A and B are shown apart, each in its own frame.
Chain A
Amino acid sequence: MRNRNEYTYDVLVIGGGPAGIAAACAAAPHARVAIVDENPALGGQIWRNSFPARQSHPSGPWHNRLQQTQATRLHGLRVFDAPAFNTLHAEAPDGLHILRYNKLILATGARERFLPFPGWTLRNVIGAGGLQAMVKSGLPVAGKRIVVAGSGPLLLAVAAFLKSHGAQVVAVCEQAPPRQLAHFATSIVAYPSKISQAVQYRTQLAAVPYRIGWWPVTAHGKSQVESVTLTNGARRLTLDCDFLACGFHLVPNTELPALLGCSLHNGFVAVDSLQQASVPNVFCAGEITGIGGLDKSLIEGSIAGYASTGQNSPARKLFAKRNKALGFAAAMERAFAPRPELRRLPAPQTTVCRCEDVAHELLQQHDSWRSAKLHTRCGMGPCQGRVCGAATEFLYGWPGESIRPPILPVRFDTLAEAEKPTAQH
């Protein structure tokens, strides 16, 4: 039998991205705190493989702050169930970890939204953040021709990152209509840090065409992508490439809060001013309460960390900053909303559910996610709808389904052990 580990903390933080790190930093001086993440190291999406980093890196001060606390770091643990009062179960390569808490802070972040179009299942068609993560994990891209397409501020960040690693970024194509984006550009005047970041990306990408109002319609290739056709609705353009890095902004990882019974609003966890969710003793911070980027995650994480340990006055001092970040998040949500034309991207035979290879034409015959799922196997594979769920919601207007344990695939013995009988059996 594999290991069985049990821990109890005053404050348990799930998610080791900026929001979780900030939460742990704020709570740790006043409580026994642990921060849990499924990756081999903390950092989340943006600070992946850069935590710890050089002192000049934005994560540097946070790393130092966390170092100075007694917070326990638990890496490589994937939380999959919430089987009993104030208890979570996580799986690691060595087996089951049972995590008990008094207060819980969820900062599980976001994933990319993927939308199906012909050819999107070819190899080397990969998420924009996905390709960035691959490069951070050692994939050399020097000299590779890469088209970055889809939506969201992530596209520019990724393009700049790829270029700095020697890639030949052929084009960056943002689906949002120019007018929608112009509004956004004016509205971010209120956020100087965002402007300087945008200017920085644009400078880094000086020679790279940034096509606003363009989106991919077909990826071509035999087994891996060789070129991609893009359109702006009026014209078409085909570009040769070795990789198509493509994601349509972000969707929150709300499976764990939903399993715990936290109310959602418009797909995000609903929280009060102290970041408390509808379930007692549960706080939520970062992308799961609204896609807002680094500043919002850090501020909300800090508020949650303070509030979870009763430090309400330092928490309140951050409200003004948070309001600003929320304003930016709202502007971003509007700016990068997927345009209706994207609903027409899949051809009848285009695969929508990649785990079970379910085609668009089969799904169109159904009127709900559950009907489609039961009759076509859409969403029944190992990703459990994490990829196709966001697509079917956008394409067909189907809200997702109720959540059940395990929220991630786990080994049979982990789940069987997890359910270890209590004394009466």
Chain B
Amino acid sequence: MSSNCDAIVLGAGIVGAACAMELAHAGMSVTVVEPGVIGGGATAAGMGHIVVMDDSPAQLAFTHYSQQLWHVLAPQLPPAAEYETPGTIWVAADEVEMQEVARKQSIYVTRGLPVRVLDSHALLHEEPHLRPGLAGGLLVSSDAVLYPPVAADYLLQQALSSGASLIRQAALQAGEGKACLANGDILSSPRIINALGAAAPSLAPGLPVHPRKGHLVITDRAPGFVRHQLVELGYVRSAGSGTADSVAFNVQPRKTGQVLIGSSRQYNAHDKSVDHQILQRMMQQTRRYMPGIDKLSVLRTWTGFRAATPDKLPLIGPHPADPTLFLATGHEGLGITTALATGKLIRHILTGSGSEIPVEPYLPARAFHPTTETAHA
């Protein structure tokens, strides 16, 4: 069987779902290809922190823009998407990290974000279960939290109700205007979007995207134990490290009252099983910041893979070697946050509609150097 449509979206994680929704809203005929559970990949593993980050100006612009899109969409999300705006507190352990608070504050203020610097006392007032003696923090009250698989499903349903169709198959090959499916069907389209997350290189060989493994721990309901998403500022250093395994204090209040605990980053770890060593380091780091967490009951642990790129920015736009192939991957630890903005950029690139932010920093061409290609062959 062979069929034609304006665009094919491969993968129905939150990124693919957002792309499908935008393209369907633009009036395109869209076919979404996904063999598994909707939002069952990295989207099901992620914390769902909708956070503005400022590792680079391009990251800041992208995350801020996307967060605003979430704020607009929020009232329409189903209750099971558990959308809430608890805000983030970037926790500073010492005076060095307080300097990072000041730097971050000045940048966030210029973007009009609602921020407040907390001293040691104010920090404890906001989060009584933190260890006393921490230097302070930066409260960013516009940051949100949601439950990603339900949000992804909502976005996909929007696409489907605007005429998109869903095929429950795996794609085996994509390029030159064709996508071959596991059941032997061939779909044709001048626009094929690879939104496979960390699996993106499987259908686009040579893509400079690496899986970066993360662990999470969830507790039983303990309402009020944590009130904001809390992230240590040391995280800025550890997340930035490109090679070494790292852990950071990163806890999140779920709407259910549960506490979700991250985060770890590992390269060269490809198997899904829980790695006791890194889990231990992550939990010990959590206890150092929040000793009271010891008494909570842990229900479950799991892992997921972020799609990491060398420059920590996503790959959104045409594949340099194939004009029919488009990429929407490489979101590392920010794909939930930036899914909606990714959908907008893909729409802009494919339909020529206006874009509210420049697309250049995210275009894939920048990442394709002969050296990186051979490294992944």
Contact = CB atoms under 8 A, between A and B. Distances in A.
Given A412-B219, A419-B281, A421-B277, 6 more contacts: A375-B37, A380-B299, A404-B302, A406-B300, A409-B298, A416-B294
A235 interface: no
Interface string B113-129: 00000000000000000
B44 interface: yes
Contact of A406 (B80, B287, B301): B301
6 contacts: A374-B44, A382-B297, A410-B298, A416-B283, A418-B280, A419-B284
Interface string B273-297: 1101101110110110000011111
Contacts of A374: 37, 39-40, 44, 149
A83 interface: yes
B220 interface: yes
B219 A419 contact: no
A375 B150 CA distance: 6
Given A370-B37, A371-B40, A413-B294, A421 B280 contact: yes
Contacts of A411: 294-298
Nearest to B303: A404
B332 interface: no
B301 A405 contact: yes
A420 B280 contact: yes
Contacts of A412: 217, 219, 283, 286-287, 293-298
Contacts of A415: 217, 283, 298
Interface in B157-191: none
Nearest to A422: B277
Contacts of A371: 37-38, 40
B376 to A, nearest CB: 29
A413 B297 contact: no
A425 B277 contact: yes
Nearest to B283: A416
Interface residues of A, number: 29
B37 A413 contact: no
A368 interface: yes
A84 interface: yes
A39 B217 CA distance: 27
B153 interface: yes
A288 B274 CA distance: 25
Contacts of B298: 406, 409-412, 415
A381 interface: yes
A384 interface: yes
B280 A419 contact: yes
A368 B37 contact: yes
B296 A83 contact: no
Contacts, number: 91
A410 B297 contact: yes
Contacts of B279: 419
B301 A375 contact: no
A419 B18 CA distance: 38
A391 to B, nearest CB: 19
Contacts of B295: 411-413
A416 B287 contact: yes
Interface of A: 83-84, 368, 370-371, 374-377, 380-382, 384, 404-406, 409-413, 415-416, 418-422, 425
Interface string B15-42: 0000000000000000000000111100
B153 A375 contact: yes
A418 B284 CA distance: 11
A284 B150 CA distance: 40
A409 B296 CA distance: 10
A413 B284 CA distance: 9
Interface string B300-326: 111000000000000000000000000
Nearest to A409: B297
Interface of B: 37-40, 44, 80, 149-150, 153, 217, 219-220, 273-274, 276-277, 279-281, 283-284, 286-287, 293-302
A404 B37 contact: no
A412 B279 CA distance: 12
B299 A382 contact: yes
A227 B36 CA distance: 44
A416 to B, nearest CB: 4
Given A382-B220, A420-B280, A409 B299 contact: yes
User: Which are the 6 A-B pairs with shortest beta-carbon distances?
Assistant: A419-B280, A413-B294, A416-B283, A371-B37, A374-B149, A83-B276
A380 to B, nearest CB: 8
Contact of A419 (B37, B44, B283, B300): B283
Contacts of A382: 220, 297, 299
Contact of B277 (A381, A404, A413, A419): A419
A353 to B, nearest CB: 13
Nearest to A407: B300
A376 B217 CA distance: 19
Contacts of A419: 276-277, 279-281, 283-284
A410 B280 CA distance: 14
A407 to B, nearest CB: 10
A409 B149 CA distance: 24
A375 B149 contact: yes
A413 B217 CA distance: 12
A382 B297 CA distance: 9
- Most chain A C-beta atoms within 10 Å of own C-beta, residue among B44, B220, B280: B280
Contact of A404 (B80, B150, B274, B296): B274
Nearest to B256: A377
Contacts of A418: 276, 280
B277 A375 contact: no
Contacts of B37: 368, 370-371, 374-375
A102 to B, nearest CB: 21
- Most chain B C-beta atoms within 10 Å of own C-beta, residue among A368, A381, A419, A421: A419
Contacts of A413: 287, 294-295
Contacts of B299: 380-382, 384, 409
Contacts of B149: 374-375
A86 B308 CA distance: 35
Contacts of B283: 412, 415-416, 419
A125 B351 CA distance: 60
Contacts of B150: 375
Nearest to A383: B299
Contacts of A83: 276
Contacts of B273: 404
A384 B297 CA distance: 13
A422 B301 CA distance: 20
B281 A421 contact: yes
Contacts of B284: 416, 419, 421
A233 B279 CA distance: 53
A380 B299 CA distance: 8
A375 B300 contact: no
A382 B284 CA distance: 23
A2 B277 CA distance: 20
A405 to B, nearest CB: 6
A317 to B, nearest CB: 41
Nearest to A370: B37
A171 B217 CA distance: 46
Nearest to B287: A416
